[in-house]
Amino acid sequence: MSGSAQCPHLDFQFNVKVARIEDDTIKQADITGKCMNCDQPLVFRCDLPMGVSWTHPTLSVDAQELRLPVLVLGDEVDEKKKRPSFSVREIR
Ligand SMILES: [Zn+2]
């Protein structure tokens, strides 16, 4: 089956990729999803900033990837450590 119009979108598959920085305890879980029948990607509908942050959740520009900072229970975060991040500001 192809095309969104004919598919009832009843079964979904999610993928979680974990990004990490060498020698750092904090990780980032990047979550995407799609309909298992027609492969249409899911779009996250939440009011989050677009970009990458190691301190708060963000979305990709197309809202198809939810990015969550995560930590293994018991690990501690070095708040002084510099980590790559960026944000995208929408201009209307
Ligand atoms: Zn579908």
- With H, G, I as helix, E, B as strand and everything else as coil, classify residue 8: coil
Each residue of 65-82: pLDDT tens digit? 999 999 999 999 988 888
The Å distance, Cα 58 to ligand 1 centre, comes to 25
Residue 89 predicted with pLDDT over 90: no
Whether the model clears a pTM of 0.85, i.e. scores above it, the answer is no
- With H, G, I as helix, E, B as strand and everything else as coil, classify residue 58: strand
Domain-wise residue ranges, the chain: 1-71
Helix (H) or strand (E) holding 12: strand 12-20
> What does the buried/exposed string (b/e) look like for 29-67 if buried means 16 or more CB atoms within 10 Å of the residue's CB?
ebbbbbbeebeeebebeeeeebebbbeebbbbeeeebbb
The Å distance, Cα 63 to ligand 1 centre, comes to 18
Ligand 1 ion local residues (Cβ < 5 A): 7, 9, 35, 37-38
Given this model, what pLDDT does residue 84 score?
Answer: 82
The Å distance, Cα 44 to ligand 1 centre, comes to 16
